[in-house]
Amino acid sequence: MSKATFTIEGDSTKYVIPLDLSEVTLSKYIAYCNIESKHLPKEIQELRQLYTDLQDISPTDKLDREPVEKRITELNKVVDSFEYKEVLLDWYAKVVEFWTGLPYDIIMGLDDGIGMQVAQLQALYYKLEALLIPPKEAEYSQIIEHKGEAWYLPSQYMREATTIEYLEASQFQKLADDLAGNQWGVMGKIMAILVRKKDEKYHPKLVREREQFFLGWTMDKVYTVAFFLLRRIEKLTTVFQTYTAAQTLSKLRQELSD
């Protein structure tokens, strides 16, 4: 697949911009998450969280929706103001620099140049923002192909696990929580535990050796594993909740019979 490129006025260099998750490695994505955590404007960060919160509130629940919608309106006025443009352009330039390699100083005209056209900077940023939206969950496939080699997810999660494998898996709830919270730094270890060659048995040494290897996988493949993990954790949580409820009921019956 050919790479998308662009140039800017006064510079004949062709810069590459990724437009598909198959062009983004896990290590690059983790590095970007770190950039976001440090430099994403607080108003944009709050807006993202509010829109996420709003999705979890019923459209008929006006009592809970109104304060969230009010705050969204307030923040949108701030972000849309002329005074805020400097903050936005600074953030856009940091994002474009990270993904394309075009230096921040050239984008912002700090190199004695004229800087990038605002419309072009915005267009590049919106393309990159669209790139980073998580894909819709695809139909589950146990086999993931990477550079012509087949790798496998478990067909029956933890069905034939060893004791040490269960000890590793005991960390999965925290890992999954981190992942759900956009803490992608844990994903290399998750993949090193879950993804194996055909009929390969679990071994802690392989986990240590392969964590770096999986950081080189592209995000289209990584999301397959992420969706698998999060779905299995949901099922596992349901099982644990049922077991805990059964324990509680059993204890209550025992107390009543005493």
Tell me whether residue 106 is in a domain. Answer: yes
**pLDDT tens-digit readout, 226-240:** 888 777 665 544 434
Mean pLDDT of all residues in the chain?
A: 82
Q: Is the pLDDT of residue 219 over 80?
A: yes
What per-residue confidence (pLDDT) applies to 3?
Answer: 87
Over range 195-215, report the average pLDDT: 87
The total domain count for the chain is 2
- Three-class SS of the chain: CCCEEEEECCEEEEEEECCCHHHCEHHHHHHHHHHHHHHCCHHHHHHHHHHHHHHCCCCCCHHHHHHHHHHHHHHHHHHHCHHHHHHHHHHHHHHHHHHHCCCHHHHHCCCCCCCCCHHHHHHHHHHHHHHCCCCCCCCCCCEEEECCEEEECCCCCCCCCCHHHHHHHCCHHHHHHHHHCCCHHHHHHHHHHHCECCCCCCCHHHHHHHHHHHCCCEHHHHHHHHHHHHHHHHHHHHHHHHHHHHHHHHHHHHHHHC
Contact in structure between 197 and 191 (CB atoms under 8 Å):
no
Q: Is the pLDDT of residue 185 over 70?
A: yes
Contact in structure between 65 and 100 (CB atoms under 8 Å):
no
What per-residue confidence (pLDDT) applies to 173?
Answer: 59
Contact in structure between 235 and 217 (CB atoms under 8 Å):
no
Contact in structure between 233 and 172 (CB atoms under 8 Å):
yes
Same-domain check for residues 120 and 66: yes
- How much is the pTM? 0.80
Over range 120-131, report the average pLDDT: 94
Over range 240-248, report the average pLDDT: 41
Tell me whether residue 138 is in a domain. Answer: no
CA distance readout (Å), 199 to 153, 154, 188, 195 = 11, 10, 21, 11
What per-residue confidence (pLDDT) applies to 136?
Answer: 82
Same-domain check for residues 100 and 203: no
Same-domain check for residues 85 and 202: no
**pLDDT tens-digit readout, 145-180:** 999 999 998 765 445 555 445 545 555 556 666 665
Tell me whether residue 169 is in a domain. Answer: yes
What per-residue confidence (pLDDT) applies to 108?
Answer: 95
Residue 232 to residue 172: CA distance in whole angstroms: 10
Over range 6-34, report the average pLDDT: 93
Contact in structure between 210 and 200 (CB atoms under 8 Å):
no
Confidence bin at 46 (pLDDT 50/70/90): very high
What per-residue confidence (pLDDT) applies to 1?
Answer: 61
Same-domain check for residues 48 and 85: yes
Tell me whether residue 137 is in a domain. Answer: no
What per-residue confidence (pLDDT) applies to 142?
Answer: 84
Tell me whether residue 190 is in a domain. Answer: yes
User: Of 79, 110, 131, which residue sits at a domain end?
Assistant: 131
What per-residue confidence (pLDDT) applies to 248?
Answer: 43
Same-domain check for residues 173 and 92: no
Same-domain check for residues 229 and 175: yes
Over range 239-255, report the average pLDDT: 42
- What is the identity of the amino acid at 124? L
Same-domain check for residues 158 and 245: yes
What per-residue confidence (pLDDT) applies to 207?
Answer: 82
User: Of 97, 131, 165, which residue sits at a domain end?
Assistant: 131
Tell me whether residue 136 is in a domain. Answer: no
Tell me whether residue 70 is in a domain. Answer: yes
Same-domain check for residues 121 and 176: no
Same-domain check for residues 184 and 244: yes
> Which residues constitute the domain of residue 75?
4-131
**pLDDT tens-digit readout, 65-104:** 999 999 999 999 999 999 999 999 999 999 999 999 999 9
Tell me whether residue 178 is in a domain. Answer: yes
Same-domain check for residues 114 and 149: no
Same-domain check for residues 170 and 252: yes
User: Of 98, 131, 164, which residue sits at a domain end?
Assistant: 131
Same-domain check for residues 162 and 191: yes
